[in-house]
Amino acid sequence: MKTVIEFLKKALLLDLLEGLWITFRHQHPKNIYTEQYPITRPAIAERYRGAPRLNIHPVTNETLCIACDLCKIACPENLIVVGFVRDEKKRKQLTTFTYDLSRCMFCGLCEDACPVDALELTQDFELASYTRGGQIWDRQMLEEGPRPTEYRQ
């Protein structure tokens, strides 16, 4: 008898219907809130970590990165590539900096490792692109930051 009842429950999908009933019972239209996303920007948590950015000096307009490779070493995903050359004074000059967002966990370890605060994770959250290549940001893109699409009503 017990197996027949269990079979009927499975065949008639009673568990599914019970779950749907609970869902629809709690889904009264007065409790539904729709956020008008493209037009109204959502509030972001203060400690949210989003798109990376290479900071530049406001006066000289040069990057703050000293090519020390500490961000590359701290990254658990090995997604940061720092290229540099040495000048006449044997100092490192940053030539290339790439950051692969498709593998980033947004953990903030690269940001914490930077001794000059050149790399930071901003509150920009619109990181979608149509290709995988669009997820690999070069030095110029990191310095400029993402440009979200402006929507008008």
Question: Does some domain include residue 44?
Answer: no
How far is Cα 100 from Cα 136, in angstroms, rounded to an integer? 4
Dump pLDDT digits (tens) for 94-104: 999 999 999 99
pLDDT surpasses 90 at 126: no
Number of independent structural domains in the chain: 2
Question: Does some domain include residue 47?
Answer: no
State the pLDDT at residue 153: 65
Whether 138 and 83 map to the same domain: the answer is: yes
Whether 81 and 136 map to the same domain: the answer is: yes
Q: What is the CATH number of the domain that holds 84?
A: 3.30.70.3270
- What's the pTM? 0.72
Cβ-based burial of 69 (10 A; exposed 0-12, middle 13-18, buried ≥19): middle
Dump pLDDT digits (tens) for 28-68: 787 777 888 878 888 899 999 999 999 999 999 999 999 99
Question: Does some domain include residue 39?
Answer: no
Q: pLDDT tier at 1 (50, 70, 90 boundaries)?
A: confident
